[in-house]
Amino acid sequence: MRVFVCGFGDFQVAIPMHSVSSLALHAGNPSNTGNPYNMDRNNYVSLPLLFKLPSENIKHSIILKNLDVEDEDAVDNTAENKTILLIPEVECEMEIPDEEMYLIPKVLCSTRFFIFFKGIKFDQGGGGPILLLNTDQLIRSEQKETAL
């Protein structure tokens, strides 16, 4: 699986490329990244705030594909209600073979933190574990919060 990798000190987060609509430099004010429903009617998810690391500087934003869009050519980048990940930066892109990705143990999935991940790769290179982001679960969660 091809992923974008973003580092958070002791661990890394992998964002599957198949769920990414576009990647951009973030030009907004990092102090406003906690507002899940902004004036432009998009859902912003700050990974540093999710991980309780608010001091991280936001450098990149990733627009995720909508769950209901099946035709990749039909993606409308001007549409509202997009889910946009705010991250410190994309450090690299890499290929992670499926056999190197392990399921998150169910006991950890009961916590709010781990429900947004669908796998973990234990890195032997000293870079720490790589958590595979479950973008579908993240989008569903943001849509529920926005609907309330």
Q: Please state, in angstroms and as integers, the Cα–Cα distance from residue 39 to each residue in 42, 66, 80, 140, 148, following that order.
A: 8, 19, 10, 20, 16
Which of the four pLDDT bands, split at 50, 70 and 90, describes residue 94? very high
How far apart CA 60 and CA 123 sit, in angstroms, is 24
pLDDT at 29: 56
Q: Which helix (H) or strand (E) holds 109?
A: helix 106-109
How many other C-beta atoms lie within 10 A of the C-beta of residue 10?
A: 8
Confidence (pLDDT) at 17: 95
Average the pLDDT over 72-90 and give the result: 72
d(CA 68, CA 30): 29
User: What are the extents of the domains in the chain?
Assistant: 2-147
Contact between residue 133 and residue 101 where contact means Cβ atoms under 8 Å apart: no
- In 65-129, DSSP assigns E strands to 83-87, 92-95, 117-121
Query: 61 near 90, Cβ under 8 Å?
Result: no
User: Do residues 42 and 26 lie in contact, with contact meaning Cβ atoms separated by under 8 Å?
Assistant: no
Cα–Cα distance for residue pair 67/73, rounded to 1 Å: 14
Residue 46 has pLDDT above 60, yes or no: yes
Q: What is the pLDDT of residue 50?
A: 82
Nearest to 114 by CA among 128, 133, 95, 99: 133
Supply the pTM of this predicted model. Answer: 0.79
